[in-house]
């Protein structure tokens, strides 16, 4: 491999998050440069954050040397992909392993974006402050510098699992339902934050029992004007009566003084608009884009998303609407499938949407901290389909959400769970499936983990059956769909029945 290696900084599309991360990014870059020089190569830096797609095209496109993306905060996939697709020079995504600075989230998303575009890449990560002190990290970096790629153990990957006759029968019944009426995803825009790996489109969806209909989010503003005040007031009374706790104005010194009852009512206005749209188009499930152009105009959608993922919600028909934040079809597809399996098996139908944010060892096993901005339903917090007890709404951080509005948060209760994720690989739709357990942490550990990430967001500590290195080496997203209950065999059978290429992730015991 060539002796010179280009380092670059994929970034957020917004200047402020990049500004806040600059010291962290510079520190990680210095660590990488030191490690590269120890291996006899010479690094050089592509100046500045790549914060728009044209930055990647203009700055990475001309480079033929091997390249390393420094992933140590949140960043957008196209700020790498658009400059490297169509090229074959070795590409490495290098990440820290931190909850506060979620470079691993950016790495997982960007890696999945590259995979969806058939652009080869490798990945590497470390939790050590001194990268060079991590022998495994250095061995992998040396492998990449020598060969242009890193090979990871695949002992945790299987492509089939034993399926009982009962699970197979149930899965066939659910597959028949999809065939008799294709599932319709109402898409409020396209995927967010350059998460191109999470958009499949009709060409791929229609092969697997799904399709989509896109609605411009301008309709939320326009139609919101015609939502009767009584409906908003009734919805507000409902969520309060059902136990949702609001933290209006708490910690005003932190910029939350503008989070008021009126802000919540505006979120409920948007909820009611989207509920009407779902009924108008007879949609089965929902993808809701986090749209940068809309956030100065409307409050965040997380409260509404959490309510849709709950059976206990205003004007409810007793059903959840499987809702994926960031309009992520890679989650809404398995969410809808899991929902139908749960119902058919007599289990509660709620399916949770989460980010894979961070993880650590606790009492001898590796637990993942699953933490999304608010698309997790209330059932996770109370295991009561008819209550919103245990759910809390905090002002979303103003750095990312300038218009005030609340999250839909809480501590997830323990219990067995099944998880899944759909993604594009080799121009086909694939499905990762696993089983595990949601774990209750001691309060001091829970608070340390929660405060070290984003305290306003829903919290789930989960044993996913895979540890840090398996997920970091092989997983193709920063999102995951989680269902309480064991429908693992049924989900494997249903995914195969509906034509997905199935991959099962489970570390050897």
Euclidean distance between the first and final Cα of the chain, in Å? Answer: 37
Q: Is residue 251 predicted with pLDDT exceeding 90?
A: no
| Spatial contact of 138 and 38, defined as CB atoms under 8 Å apart | yes
Average of per-residue pLDDT across 120-142: 96
Q: Is residue 254 predicted with pLDDT exceeding 80?
A: no
373: nearest Cα among 262, 454, 482, 488: 454
- pLDDT of amino acid 101: 84
Query: What is the pLDDT confidence band of residue 139, given thresholds at 50, 70 and 90?
Result: very high
454: nearest Cα among 100, 95, 105: 100
Average of per-residue pLDDT across 369-380: 95
Query: What is the pLDDT confidence band of residue 253, given thresholds at 50, 70 and 90?
Result: low
Q: 242 Cβ partners below 8 Å, 6+ apart?
A: 312, 386, 387, 388, 389
Q: 136 Cβ partners below 8 Å, 6+ apart?
A: none
- pLDDT of amino acid 2: 78
Could you give the 3-state DSSP secondary structure of residue 482? Answer: strand
Q: Is residue 291 predicted with pLDDT exceeding 90?
A: no
For residue 462, what is the enclosing H or E element?
Answer: strand 459-463
- pLDDT of amino acid 282: 98
Q: Which residue has the tokens 């974006």?
A: 113
Supply the mean pLDDT for the chain: 96
Dmax (CA) for the chain in angstroms is 70
- pLDDT of amino acid 252: 66
Angstrom distance (rounded) from CA 236 to CA 233: 5
Average of per-residue pLDDT across 370-393: 96
- pLDDT of amino acid 213: 97
pLDDT, one tens digit per residue, over 451-481 is 999 999 999 999 999 999 999 999 999 999 9
- pLDDT of amino acid 146: 96
Average of per-residue pLDDT across 291-295: 84
For residue 394, what is the enclosing H or E element?
Answer: none
- pLDDT of amino acid 411: 98
Average of per-residue pLDDT across 390-405: 94
pLDDT, one tens digit per residue, over 38-53 is 999 999 999 999 999 9
For residue 16, what is the enclosing H or E element?
Answer: helix 15-38
- pLDDT of amino acid 140: 98
Query: What is the pLDDT confidence band of residue 191, given thresholds at 50, 70 and 90?
Result: confident
Which stretches does DSSP call E strand in 62-137?
Answer: 67-71, 91-96, 122-126
Average of per-residue pLDDT across 261-270: 98
The larger pLDDT score, comparing residue 434 to residue 101, is at 434
| Spatial contact of 191 and 328, defined as CB atoms under 8 Å apart | yes
DSSP 197: G
Paired tokens of 256:
């939350």
Paired tokens of 396:
């979303």
Angstrom distance (rounded) from CA 144 to CA 442: 40
Average of per-residue pLDDT across 240-248: 97
- pLDDT of amino acid 509: 84
pTM greater than 0.95 (yes/no):
yes
Tell me whether strands 428-439 and 415-425 are parallel, antiparallel or unpaired. Answer: antiparallel
Hey, what domains does the chain have and what are their CATH numbers?
4-147 (3.40.50.1070), 165-505 (3.20.14.10)
pLDDT, one tens digit per residue, over 322-335 is 999 999 999 999 99
Q: Which residue has the tokens 């496109």?
A: 61
> What percent of the chain has pLDDT above 90?
92
Angstrom distance (rounded) from CA 280 to CA 277: 5
| Spatial contact of 290 and 326, defined as CB atoms under 8 Å apart | yes
Rounded to whole angstroms, what are the CA distances from 342 to 166, 170, 307, 419? 14, 10, 19, 12
Rounded to whole angstroms, what are the CA distances from 183 to 198, 289, 394, 474? 17, 19, 33, 29
Angstrom distance (rounded) from CA 483 to CA 29: 39
Tell me whether strands 351-362 and 479-484 are parallel, antiparallel or unpaired. Answer: antiparallel
Angstrom distance (rounded) from CA 223 to CA 407: 23
Q: Is residue 98 predicted with pLDDT exceeding 90?
A: no
| Spatial contact of 504 and 157, defined as CB atoms under 8 Å apart | yes
Which stretches does DSSP call E strand in 304-452?
Answer: 323-325, 351-362, 365-371, 392-393, 415-425, 428-439
- pLDDT of amino acid 374: 85
- pLDDT of amino acid 100: 83
Could you give the 3-state DSSP secondary structure of residue 268? Answer: helix
Average of per-residue pLDDT across 48-62: 97
| Spatial contact of 362 and 441, defined as CB atoms under 8 Å apart | yes
């Amino acid at each position: 491999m060539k002796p010179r290696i280009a380092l670059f900084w994929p970034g957020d599309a917004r200047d402020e998050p990049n500004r806040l991360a600059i010291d962290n990014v510079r520190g990680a870059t210095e660590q990488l440069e030191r490690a590269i020089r120890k291996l006899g190569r010479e690094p050089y830096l592509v100046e500045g954050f790549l914060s728009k797609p044209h930055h990647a095209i203009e700055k990475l496109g001309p480079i033929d040397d091997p390249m390393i993306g420094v992933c140590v905060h949140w960043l957008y996939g196209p700020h790498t992909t658009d400059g490297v697709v169509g090229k074959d020079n070795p590409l490495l995504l290098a990440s820290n392993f931190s909850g506060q600075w979620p470079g691993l989230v950016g790495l997982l998303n960007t890696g999945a974006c590259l995979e969806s575009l058939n652009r080869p890449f490798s990945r590497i990560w470390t939790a050590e402050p001194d990268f060079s002190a991590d022998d495994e990290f250095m061995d992998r970096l040396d492998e990449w510098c020598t060969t242009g790629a890193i090979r990871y153990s695949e002992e945790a990957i299987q492509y089939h699992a034993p399926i009982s006759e009962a699970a197979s029968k149930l899965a066939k019944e659910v597959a028949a339902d999809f065939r008799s009426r294709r599932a319709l995803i109402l898409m409020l825009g396209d995927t967010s934050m350059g998460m191109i790996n999470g958009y499949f489109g009709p060409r791929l969806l229609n092969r697997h029992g799904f399709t989509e209909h896109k609605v411009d989010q301008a309709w939320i503003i326009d139609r919101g004007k015609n939502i009767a005040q009584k409906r908003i007031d009734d919805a507000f009374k409902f969520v309060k009566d059902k136990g949702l706790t609001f933290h209006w104005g708490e910690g005003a010194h932190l910029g939350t003084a503008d989070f008021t009852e009126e802000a919540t009512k505006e979120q409920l206005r948007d909820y009611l608009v989207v509920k009407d749209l779902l009924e108008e188009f007879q949609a089965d499930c929902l993808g809701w884009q986090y749209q940068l152009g809309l956030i100065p105009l409307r409050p965040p959608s997380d409260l509404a998303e959490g309510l849709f993922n709950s059976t206990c919600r205003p004007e409810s028909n007793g059903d959840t609407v499987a809702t994926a934040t960031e309009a992520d079809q890679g989650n809404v597809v398995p969410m809808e499938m899991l929902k139908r399996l749960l119902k058919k098996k007599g289990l509660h139908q709620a399916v949770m949407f989460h980010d894979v944010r961070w993880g650590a060892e606790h009492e001898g096993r590796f637990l993942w901290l699953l933490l999304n901005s608010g698309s997790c339903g209330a059932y996770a917090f109370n295991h009561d389909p008819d209550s919103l007890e245990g759910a809390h709404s905090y002002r979303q951080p103003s750095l990312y959400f300038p218009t005030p509005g609340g999250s839909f948060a809480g501590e997830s209760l323990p219990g067995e769970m099944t998880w899944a994720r759909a993604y594009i690989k080799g121009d086909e739709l694939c499905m990762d499936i696993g089983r595990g357990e949601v774990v209750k942490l001691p309060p001091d550990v829970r608070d340390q983990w929660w405060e070290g990430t984003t305290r306003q967001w829903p919290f789930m500590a989960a044993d996913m059956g895979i540890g840090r290195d398996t997920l970091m080496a092989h997983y193709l997203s920063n999102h995951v769909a989680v269902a309480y209950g064991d429908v693992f065999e049924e989900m494997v059978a249903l995914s195969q029945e509906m034509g997905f290429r199935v991959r099962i992730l489970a570390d050897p015991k």
